[in-house]
Structure 1
Amino acid sequence: MHNLRDSLLGPSPRGTPHLTTSEDFRIDQEDIRQCMARGEFKEIRGAAFSNRTWITTSRYCELGDGVDSLEVYIHSMWYMYYQLGRNISYETPDHEGLILDIVRIQGMGPLTRPVRGNYGVDIARTAEGILWNDLPFLATDMTSFWNSDFPTMSGTHRLNFATFLAKLASTRVGKDRLCQIALILFRNLFEERQGLRSGEESDDEDPKRSMHQLEIFHLLPAAVAWLRHTGHNLVLLSEVYWNDCPSIISKGGEKFIESELGRRSPTGFSPWRYIYWLKRLHEIQEEAKEAKEELLEEYATDAIEYMVSTVMQRNSEILRAYQNGGDDLHQEKHLFCRKSLLKSEATENEDSNDSKDGAK
C-alpha cells in the first residue's frame, strides 16, 4: 500500500510493478549471471528474445495488466542482452545477431488493446516511451550497466560490450540515446587528466577498480570501436548539437572546459567537441610513439583515420567549423590532419570557381 501511495503521489504517477523488491531484481540477475557462467548463451538469448517479450506482450494485450507492472520483465530482458553483449566475442556472428534481435523487438510494437469504453484503444506507454517502438529503458539500463560495471570488466569484456553498444547505436534505435554512452566514454578518455599507462598492470577483471582509475590503455580500444561502427552517427549528432540526455552526462570534462574549443562549445555533441577529440587523439598518438606503446599508437592512428575520413566523406559541417575556426585553430600542432581539412576547403572553392567560369 505504501509503495502504491508513493508511486501515485510522486512527480511521475505510475502503478506498482509485479515484483517490487530489490531482492527480486538481485535474484533474477544472479540467475542470469550463473547461466552465463555455465556458457548457456543460446538459452539466455532465447529467453530474452522470446520469453520476456511474450510475457510482456501477453500480459498487456491479453490479460489486461497495467504497463507499469510489466517493467520488471523489460529490465530483465535488457540485463540479459547486456550480459550477452559483454560475454560473446564481438568478432562472431552471434554478436551481430544480438543487434538484429533488438531491432526485431522494436518492430513488434506498438502494443495495443481494446478499451472498456466505446472508442479508441489503449497503447502500452511507459515512462520512457511506447512498447515496443521506443524500446523503453534500453538506453537508461545500458548507461547504468556501463557506469557501474565498465571499470571493473576485463579488457576483453569491455571491448565486447563497447562494440555491442556501438553496433546497436549505429541502427539509431531509441532515438540515438545510446550515443550518450559515447559522451561518457569520450569525456573520460579525452577530456579528463588521463595517463597513458602507469605500469605493466594487467587488464583483467578487477572488482575494486573505479572509473577514475582507468587509463588510456583501458579506454582507447572501446573508443575505436565506437568510431568504427558509429562514426557517421557521431558526426551527425555533432552537426546538430545533439544534447538529449541528462546534464551530468552531456557536460564536458575538466580539460575540455578549460580549452579554447571547450569555451566555444555547448554541452553534448558539437563540432568543437568533435575537433577537440581529434586533437586529443593526435596527442595520444604522439605520446604513445614516444613511450614505444605500439599498440596504443596503432589504436590512435585508426581512430584518427575513422574520424577524419567520415567528416571528409560526408563533407560535414564539422569541416566548416574547422575552416572558420581562425588561425589559432589552423596552427594547432596536434591537429596534423589540418592540411587535409584545409585542402578540402580549397578544392571546394576551386570547384565552385570552375562552375562559375563554365556558366560564363
Structure 2
Amino acid sequence: MSCSPENEKLNWTMWSETFRNSIDDEAQFTDDHEDNFCRIIPIISQHIHLVTREYAARSYPLSDIEVHLHDIWYACIQAGRHIWGSTAEPNTLVVALASLKVTGPLLRPSQRLPDSGDAKESVTFSDNREFWSDLPLFAGSLVDEFTHRFHQPDYGAGYCFNLATFVGRLLSVGIFDGPAICVLSLFRETLEVSHPLSETDEDAEQIEASAAKRIPTFEDRLYTLGETIRLARTSLVILVSNRATTDKIDYTDFPQLSSLGELALKAGIDPSSTLGYSRERWNFWIQRLEELQKSEIENIQIQARGCLGEMREPAEDTALLL
C-alpha cells in the first residue's frame, strides 16, 4: 500500500530530523576529541552516493531529493564549523566537493516523456542550479548560515575561525557560488564595522571559556580574516577583478552580508556603485589594515601586517588589479 502524500512528507521530515540529530552528535564527538577526527565526512560521502543514485532513478521526485541535499549541506556546514581550521582535515571535504562539481551536470530519465525509453534530460532545482555541477542548494544553505548565525556574538570564536577558513578553502578551489559572499561578509564585519580594539570587561570574563565557544574579540576576528585570506589567496583577486563568472548569488538580496559597513561609508565609498567586491573596496581594506598596523596592540599590528602581505602578494603576482 502506498503512502499518502501527507504521510510521505511526514516520513521525509522525520528522516531529516533523525539525520541532523546524528550529525549534531558527531559534531559534539569532534569537539570532545583532541585529535579532532571528524566522522561526519564519511557520512557525507555515503549520502552523496545515495542522492546521486536517487537522482538517476525516475521514481524519485526532485522535491524529495532536495530534502536530502539540504541535509547533506547541513552536514557539510557542521563539519566545516567543528573541524579545527588549522589542521589539514578540512581539505578532505573541500576536495570531495570540488570533485563532485566536475561530475555534473548529470542527466536523469526524462520526466516529461515517461515512455521515451532511454531519453534523458538535465533539470534544475528550486534554486535554478544543476546537479552536481552547481552544487544545488549549497549556496543558499551556506549564505543562510552566515546571514542568521555566523555573525551572532554567541556563535563562538573557534567555530567562526573553523567555518571561515573552510569557506576560504572552498574559494581556493574555485567554488565561488556562496563562499564568495560569505568571505565578503567577513571583510565587511572585520574591517568596515567599528569594534573596540582592546579587550573589554566582557572579553576578560571569558578567559576561562573554551576557544570554540567564547565571543570573538577583535583580535579573533582579525586573525580569522587573515587565515581565510591566506587560504583563499588568488581567488580573492579574481573576485575583486570581476572574473568569477560562476558566482550566481545576487548580492542585492543579502545587504546584511554585502553592503558597505559604516567605516567604508564614512570613507566616502559610493554605496550605489559598490555592492560586493570592487577595487575601491579592496583599496579601503588595504588602507584600514595599514591603520591597524599602527595600533598600540602588538597582536593587532602583527595580524594586520599578515593580512596585508597575503592580500598584496597575489595581487602583485597576477597583476589583475593594475
CA contact (8 A) 1:112 1:121 kept: yes
Structure label with greater radius of gyration: 1
CA contact (8 A) 1:67 1:124 kept: no
Q: Aligned equivalents of 1:263 and 1:77: distance in 2?
A: 36
Which of the numbers 45, 54, 58 marks the counterpart of 1:59? 54
Q: Look up the match of 2:265.
A: 257
Q: Aligned equivalents of 1:19 and 1:104: distance in 2?
A: 31
**More contact order relative to length (CA 8 Å, sep ≥ 6):** 2
Q: How does 1:43-82 map to 2 (within 5 A)?
A: 43-50=39-46, 52-82=47-77
CA deviations over 1:131-164 (Å, ceiling 9, x no partner): 1110012222122223344332333322121111
Q: Look up the match of 1:179.
A: 180
Count of aligned positions: 295
How far 1:31 moved relative to its partner? 2.2
CA contact (8 A) 1:238 1:274 kept: yes
CA deviations over 1:189-220 (Å, ceiling 9, x no partner): 111122213423437469998xxx86422311
CA deviations over 1:240-296 (Å, ceiling 9, x no partner): 287843321321112212322446952111100000011111122222xx1xx3222
CA change 1:110–1:263 in 2 (3 A) is closer
How far 1:27 moved relative to its partner? 4.5
Q: Aligned equivalents of 1:227 and 1:68: distance in 2?
A: 37
CA change 1:168–1:241 in 2 (3 A) is closer
Q: Look up the match of 2:226.
A: 224
Q: Look up the match of 2:20.
A: 29
CA change 1:245–1:19 in 2 (3 A) is farther
Cα RMSD of the aligned pairs, angstroms, is: 3.1
* SS of residue in 2 equivalent to 1:135: coil
CA change 1:260–1:26 in 2 (3 A) is same
The alignment's TM-score, normalised by the length of structure 2, stands at: 0.80
Q: How does 1:1-360 map to 2 (within 5 A)?
A: 21=13, 25-39=16-30, 42-50=38-46, 52-115=47-110, 116-118=114-116, 120-128=119-127, 129-150=129-150, 151=152, 152-173=154-175, 175-199=176-200, 200-202=204-206, 204=209, 215-240=217-242, 244-247=249-252, 248=255, 249-262=257-270, 265-287=273-295, 290=296, 293-317=297-321, 319=322
Point out the structure with the larger helix share. 1
Q: Aligned equivalents of 1:312 and 1:301: distance in 2?
A: 16
- Which runs of 5 or more structure 2 residues have no equivalent in the other structure? none
- Which runs of 5 or more structure 1 residues have no equivalent in the other structure? 5-15, 320-360
Q: Aligned equivalents of 1:270 and 1:19: distance in 2?
A: 47
AA at the equivalent of 1:130: E
* SS of residue in 2 equivalent to 1:316: coil
CA deviations over 1:97-155 (Å, ceiling 9, x no partner): 11111112223323322322438423242123011110012222122223344332333
Q: Aligned equivalents of 1:46 and 1:57: distance in 2?
A: 16
* SS of residue in 1 equivalent to 2:56: helix
How far 1:303 moved relative to its partner? 0.2
How many percent of aligned residue pairs carry the same amino acid? 22
Q: Which moved more, 1:219-228 or 1:52-61?
A: 52-61
The alignment's TM-score, normalised by the length of structure 1, stands at: 0.72
How far 1:96 moved relative to its partner? 1.3
CA contact (8 A) 1:265 1:273 kept: no
